[in-house]
Amino acid sequence: MTEKLLFQARYPATLSCLIRDLTCTRAEIWSFDDAPTRRATELALARRGVKARCRSALKPLLHAFLEEIETAGLAEASITCPCHPEAAPGRFLLEAYPLPALFPLTAFDFHEGPDSAAMPAYRVSLGYVSGERREVTVLAPNRMHRDQSGHPALSPCGWLVQDGQGGPLLTDCEAIFRDAMRCLATQPWLSEPFFQRLDIAVTLPVRDRALGHGDEAVSVIEALHEDLYFSALDQFRQRLARPAGDRSLRPGQIVPSVRHGPDHSLRIATRPWDSGPADPGQQALDDAREPLSSGQIAEELARLPGRRFQAHSTAGRAVPALYLPGRDRAMMISAGQHANEVSGPVGALRAARDLARREGAHFTLCPLENPDGYALRQELARDNPRHMLHAARYTALGDDLEYRDAPRAEAEIRAVAHHLSGALLHVSLHGYPGHEWLRPFSGYVPRGFESWTMPRGFFLIPPSRLGRHRRPAGRGGRGPAASGARPCGAQCRAAGAGPPARACP
C-alpha cells in the first residue's frame, strides 16, 4: 500500500484579501486570526483610508476584555450572556472562560438573557473605581448549520460590517474545515476500516495566545485539530448508520496534523500505518514533568518483578505486561487506553513499583495498552506539545479498545491479564489535560462531551455493572468487576464495564 492523495489546496488569507479589496470607509471584521495579524491588518487598511477594527471570531467576549475594553480601575462587570434556542445550555457563558481569573480585582456577575434567535451579543455593564459606568455591546457572530452528525449547530463564524451593513464572511479557517469534510464525504468508502491512516495536514499562520492562567491558551490550531478529528468520526458514524457516540467504529487512524506555517493549506491523503521503533528519551520516574517516552515505559516495566506476557497492537507494536502472583486479592492495573492521556502510564508505573514492595502483592500491570495511539501522540506533540491531541486517544483501527467485540490485538492484553490473575478489580488510570476543550466549527461545545469542556480534578468512577462482552474466565470463573482511578483528573472506566453516566473523553 502506498500513499494516495485525496485533496490538496492553498487558501488566500482572508485579511490579506480584505486589505486588497475593501472599498468602504469603515469596517468591522471578525476572523480566526491572531492578534498581531489583526492589528497589522488595521494598519494596512488605515493606509488605504479604511478605518477598521479586526476582532476575533473565537471567544469574542474574552478578546473584547483583552483588546478593547478599558480594564484599568475596573471594579465590576455585569455581563448578560446571549441565549440562543439552538445553542448548548450555557454555551456563551462557556465562551467567557477563563475571564474572571484574568482580572482578579474585578467582580464579575454573569447571567443569561432571554431566549432569542437573533445574532448573539453580550451586554456588558462596567463599573470603575472612579464611579464611572459604561455600557458595551459585544457582538458574537455565529451561523446556523448542520454538523457532521446532521444535528443543528450554532457556530462562531467570520463576519464583515462595511459602513454599517453586515453579513457573513467565509474565512480561510472555515474554508479549510468545509473542504476537509466535503472531501471525506465524497470518498467511496463502504466498509471498515476505510483506510489504515488518514492524514489531514493543515498549516495556519496563526499563533497560540497564552492567557497566563494555568495551561489555558486561545489556540485556533488546537481547536481545528479537535474539530477535524471529531467531525470525521461523526461523519463516518453517520455513513455507517451508527448511533452517536459509538466507540466501536473502526474507520482507521484519523490524523489531523494542524501546525503553524507560512500560509493556509490543506492536504488529505491515505497511507499505511506507521509502525516505527519506540521513541527514545529518559526522565527520572519520580520527577517526570513530561510524558514518558514509549521506550522508557518498556524499560521501567522490565525493572519490575513478575512474569512477562504481551500482546501486539493493530500496527504490530508490542503491548508488554507483567503478572506478579501473591497472597493478596488480585487486581489488574492498566494505563494508556486513551493514549493522549499521558499521566496514566506514569501513575501506573509508580503505583506498581510501590505495590511490588509489599509482601503478598498480587497484580497484573500493563502501563501502555494503546502503543499505536501513543506513538501518534508523540508524533503530533513535536509541533504542539501542550495540546490535547484527542486524535491519538484511540487505536490504529480508530476504535476504543475497551469497546472491541472480541479480545484481539491490543484488547487481548486484558483477557490474558484476567486469565492469569482471576482479578475482580481493574484499575484503569486515565488523565485529562488542564485546559479548555472546544469545537468552534461544529457548535463550539463538543457534542457528547459537554460536561468535559472544562478542566477537572481527581475523582473515581466505579462502573455499576459487569462486562458488556464475554471474557475468558480466570481462577474465580467470573469476568472482572470494575473500579478505577485516574491520577490527573478525568473520568475512569475499567475493563468489561458498561458505559458510565457520562461519556469518558
Average pLDDT over residues 421-444: 91
Q: Quick one: which of 296, 304, 310 has its CA closest to 351?
A: 304
pLDDT at 473: 30
Dump the DSSP string for 66-114: HHTS--TTEEEEEEEEEE-TTSPTTHHHHHTTTHHHH-TTSEEEEEEEE
Whole-angstrom distance, CA of residue 426 vs CA of residue 435: 28
For the stretch 335-348, pLDDT in tens is 999 999 999 999 99
Answer whether residue 143 shows pLDDT above 50.
yes
**Which pLDDT score is estimated for 178?**
98
Q: Is the pLDDT of residue 193 over 70?
A: yes
Q: Which three cell numbers stand for residue 464?
A: 455499576
pLDDT for res 464? 52
Angstrom distance (rounded) from CA 289 to CA 294: 15
Tens of pLDDT, residue by residue over 153-172, are 999 999 999 999 999 999 99
pTM of this prediction?
Answer: 0.90
- Checking if the pLDDT of 482 tops 50, the result is no
pLDDT of 488 above 70:
no
Say if residues 242 and 255 touch (Cβ distance below 8 Å): no
Query: Cell 501506573 identifies what position?
Result: 348
256 closest CA partner among 289, 236, 227, 277: 227
pLDDT at 379 over 80: yes
- For the chain, give the percent of residues with pLDDT over 70: 91
Residue 477 is predicted with a pLDDT of 29
State the Cα–Cα distance between residues 99 and 20, nearest whole angstrom: 35
Residue 124 has pLDDT above 90, yes or no: yes
Q: Calculate ∠ Cα 165-171-175, nearest 5°.
A: 135
Between CA 104 and CA 489 the distance in angstroms is 25
What is the spatial distance between Cα 124 and Cα 111, in angstroms, rounded to a whole number?
11
Per-residue pLDDT tens over the stretch 268-316: 999 999 988 878 889 999 999 899 999 999 999 999 999 999 999 999 9
Over residues 395-411, mean pLDDT? 90
Concatenating the DSSP letter of every residue in 316-369 gives: S-EEEEEEE--SSPPEEEEE-SSTT-THHHHHHHHHHHHHHTSTT--EEEES-S
Cell (9 digits) for 135: 455600557
* Cell representation of residue 339: 493514549
437, 217 Cβ separation under 8 angstroms: no
